[in-house]
Amino acid sequence: MVYSALNGGVPPKDRKRFRKEWTEEGSYRLGEVLLHCSRRDWTSYPDTFWIDPWIAEHLIVHCGGPQLPDPGMLCYIIDQWLADESLPPLVSDDPLVEEEKVRELKRLFAAMNR
């Protein structure tokens, strides 16, 4: 979802410059920006860009919820994106596919604990 948010929010022609600037700023700071992008009032924050609301919701939940989201939870994957690393082969670039995998794992886990 981080890759989808960044790839969707940063035009391909600007990515090299964007990566350079944010590598200098740091992944934690970019995580803060992504969480600001995930808010309904995202336009009132500096450096923000539109991201799909479905992805925004997942980013906030993954980072601890809407009350005190922790940008540090995104740093590892942001560092990979900033380094222009590809997603691992088993990870789809389609967040819907990944969401379905999570649902299936939750279903299996719940079945095991009955």
pLDDT in tens, 16-33: 999 999 999 999 999 999
In a domain, 104, yes or no: no
In whole angstroms, give the CA distance from residue 88 to residue 109: 24
**Spatial CB neighbours of 52, under 8 Å, sequence gap ≥ 6:** 4, 5, 8
pLDDT at 98 over 90: no
Domain contains 29: yes
Q: Is residue 96 part of a domain?
A: no
Is 112 domain-assigned? Answer: no
Q: How many domains does the chain have?
A: 1
On whether the pTM is more than 0.75, the answer is yes
Q: Is 102 domain-assigned?
A: no
Find the domain containing 69 and state its range: 2-89
Secondary structure of residue 5 in the 3-state scheme: helix
Q: Determine the pLDDT at residue 80.
A: 95
Residue at 101 is within a domain:
no
Residue 114 domain flag? no
